[in-house]
Amino acid sequence: MNNERSMLSRLYPTTKFMITIALCLAAFIVPGYGFSYAVLPICMVLAYFAGSFKEFSNLAIKALLMIVVFIFILQSFFYPGHDILWSWGIFSIKREGVEFALFLTSKIVAVASAFILFFRITKVKDLVHSLEQIGLPSKVTYVILSTLQLIPEMKKLTLVIMDAQKTRGVETEGKLLVRMKAFLPTLSPLILGSVASTEERVLTLESRAFSANVKKSSIYTLEKTKYDRLVQILLIVLLAILIVWRVAL
Amino acid sequence: MGIKRGLKYDFSLLAILLIPIGIAINFVGAQIILLLKLPIYLNTIGTILTAMIGGPWVGMVTGASTNLVVGITNPVSFAFTPVQMAVGLVVGLLAMKGMYTKLWKVILASMAVVLTVLIVASPIQVLMFGGATGNSSDAVVATFLASGQQIWTAVFSTKILVESVDKIISNVIAFVIVMKMSPRYLSKLNYGAIFIKKK
């Protein structure tokens, strides 16, 4: 089990991305909503083997529950249809609406869970490295990496600024208008500070030859293993079988 | 001011470094809203800000990347990527035309941004998600539907209602902050010269 767990996480990022794409395609190839919903448990099992079951389930529920519920409410009550299943006053649930909602949500659940899985089992560092190998300019990969570092940093800074402003007498709790007024004193020092820091960052990067037009070496390496080949071939064969089965049907 | 000066000109290193900051501002703006428990989103301030001082293309990239980063934890936002991109583009173009130099002009410009969001976001919302977004604004859509409107008009009405408040506030905040920036910094940016106050 331990061996298997590391195997899934050890796959090359592009292979992992192929798994995601294959799951999405399969959800659209197989008719009906049964299989598309089944993508979520499939991803859960895969996440379990990669050792991130809890994170995956938490994120999937947070991201999907609200939108699925709302789609069901909107579609089942307001989709034009005649076959009434249940009614209360002027509201009525129609069969056509429920079917449409099932169709729509199943596809959304399938695609979304496949992508959540990808980002749970792939380290951003690995992803960025493989993108660089494909030939993406280092400016693009720098933006991706530094964004992901900057967000938690700035979130922390926000709390510090809020505390600082509180000690200076800015009210952050109370009526709506009071809380509204606190927004700008919190945001503007944060933005002005971080925007000003870009100037220093330019100097730092340029002193390390960031825009120099030469091939750079990387201290971080990522190897493709024989399993990558195996998984890729397996996925393509499975998809081909699905398509043939669908056409023959 | 010429519009066509090439992407290389727009994406100077200083402008590229603005992109992560813009994305982070989008995030943090939304987080402060949560902390202060305000009933709006304000998740486009960073896009607007970078589009103003970095130009339309930098704004567009900031908008697109924001949704891609949000998509890491909530893939629903992948679908709404064109909305943020359009906001960045429109704000950048309007700023180049000098629409972000006075408060009344900013409010006019926000109306144009609202219109853009309306045109880009509504088809995505209706065709891909059947009118829902997973946000609290879905309740408004449901209310409009319950009052007997069609799905398109319901989504349009909700968007006009929610977005105009949201976008006017975001635009005005971005405007106020850019006006506070030092001329020394603005002069280094390709599109910053418009915002330097004449004395």
Q: Which residue has the tokens 């996480």?
A: A9
Q: What is the mean pLDDT of residues B65-94?
A: 89
**Residue ranges of E strands in B83-194:** none
Whether A16 and A114 share a structural domain: yes
B1 pLDDT more than 50: no
Predicted confidence at residue B23, as pLDDT, reads 92
pLDDT tens profile A104-149: 888 888 888 888 888 888 888 888 888 888 888 888 888 888 888 8
Tell me whether B34 touches chain A (CB under 8 Å): no
Whether A90 and A166 share a structural domain: no
pLDDT tens profile A173-185: 778 788 888 888 8
A3 pLDDT more than 50: no
Q: How confident is the model at residue B198 (pLDDT cuts 50, 70, 90)?
A: low
Nearest Cβ partner of B32 from A100, A104, A183? Answer: A183
Whether A8 and A103 share a structural domain: yes
Predicted confidence at residue B113, as pLDDT, reads 93
CA distance A147 to chain B (A): 5
Contact list, B39 vs chain A (CB under 8 Å): 176
Q: How confident is the model at residue B12 (pLDDT cuts 50, 70, 90)?
A: confident
B36 pLDDT more than 80: no
Burial of A124 (C-beta count, 10 Å sphere; 0-12/13-18/19+): middle
User: A84: which strand partners?
Assistant: A94
Whether A12 and A60 share a structural domain: yes
Could you tell me what percent of chain A has a pLDDT over 90? 1
Could you tell me what percent of chain A has a pLDDT over 70? 94
pLDDT, greater one: B4 or B47: B47
Predicted confidence at residue A180, as pLDDT, reads 80
In a domain, A236, yes or no: yes
B87 pLDDT more than 70: yes
Whether A152 and A79 share a structural domain: no
Closest CA to A19 of A214, A230, A205: A230
Phi-psi category of residue B196: left, alpha or beta, with phi > 0 → left and psi -120 to 50 → alpha: beta
Contact list, A104 vs chain B (CB under 8 Å): 129-130
Distance CA B169, CA B153 (A): 24
Count of domains forming chain A? 2
Q: Nearest residue on chain A to B39, judged by CA atoms? A: A176
Fold (CATH) for B7-195: Arp2/3 complex 21 kDa subunit ARPC3 (1.10.1760)
Contact list, A77 vs chain B (CB under 8 Å): 142, 145-146
Within 37-66 of B, beta carbons closer than 8 Å to A belong to: 37-39, 42, 45, 49, 61, 65
Q: What is the mean pLDDT of residues B5-27?
A: 84
Q: Decide if B20 and A146 are in contact by the 8 Å CB cutoff.
A: yes
Predicted confidence at residue B4, as pLDDT, reads 55
C-alpha distances (whole Å) from B132 to each of A18, A107, B97, B148, B192 are: 29, 14, 35, 17, 39
Predicted confidence at residue A2, as pLDDT, reads 44
Query: Cβ(A129)–Cβ(A218) under 8 Å?
Result: yes
Q: Which residue has the tokens 């709506």?
A: A176
Q: Decide if A184 and B173 are in contact by the 8 Å CB cutoff.
A: yes
Predicted confidence at residue B143, as pLDDT, reads 81
User: A92: which strand partners?
Assistant: A87
**Average pLDDT across chain B, whole number:** 85
**DSSP three-state, residue A46:** helix
Whether A57 and A102 share a structural domain: yes
Q: What is the domain partition of chain B in residue ranges?
A: 7-195
Q: How confident is the model at residue B6 (pLDDT cuts 50, 70, 90)?
A: low
Task: Tell me the count of A-B CB pairs closer than 8 A.
Answer: 170
Whether A9 and A91 share a structural domain: yes
Q: What is the mean pLDDT of residues A223-238?
A: 85
Tell me whether B35 touches chain A (CB under 8 Å): yes
Within 98-127 of B, beta carbons closer than 8 Å to A belong to: none
User: A87: which strand partners?
Assistant: A92
pLDDT tens profile B147-173: 777 888 888 888 888 888 889 989 999
Closest CA to A139 of B185, B65, B178, B96: B65
Distance CA A134, CA A121 (A): 20
Helix (H) or strand (E) holding B199: none
Whether A29 and A147 share a structural domain: no
Q: Decide if A144 and B151 are in contact by the 8 Å CB cutoff.
A: no
Distance CA A87, CA A17 (A): 45
Q: Decide if B28 and A201 are in contact by the 8 Å CB cutoff.
A: no
Q: Nearest residue on chain A to B13, judged by CA atoms? A: A202
Predicted confidence at residue B93, as pLDDT, reads 92
In a domain, A214, yes or no: no
pLDDT, greater one: A158 or A9: A158
**Residue ranges of E strands in A66-212:** 84-88, 91-94
Burial of A203 (C-beta count, 10 Å sphere; 0-12/13-18/19+): exposed
Q: Decide if A192 and B35 are in contact by the 8 Å CB cutoff.
A: no
Distance CA B36, CA A230 (A): 51
Q: Decide if A59 and B38 are in contact by the 8 Å CB cutoff.
A: no
Predicted confidence at residue A31, as pLDDT, reads 78
Whether A164 and A53 share a structural domain: no
B50 pLDDT more than 90: yes
Whether A156 and A233 share a structural domain: no
User: A94: which strand partners?
Assistant: A84
Could you tell me what percent of chain B has a pLDDT over 90? 32
Contact list, B75 vs chain A (CB under 8 Å): 63, 111-112, 115-116
Closest CA to A141 of A130, A128, A151, A152: A128
Nearest Cβ partner of B21 from A73, A119, A195? Answer: A195
Domain that holds residue A83: 2-122+222-248
Whether A117 and A137 share a structural domain: no
Tell me whether B180 touches chain A (CB under 8 Å): yes
At A22, list the tokens. 């294959």
Q: Nearest residue on chain A to B170, judged by CA atoms? A: A184
Whether A103 and A189 share a structural domain: no
Query: Cβ(B44)–Cβ(B84) under 8 Å?
Result: yes
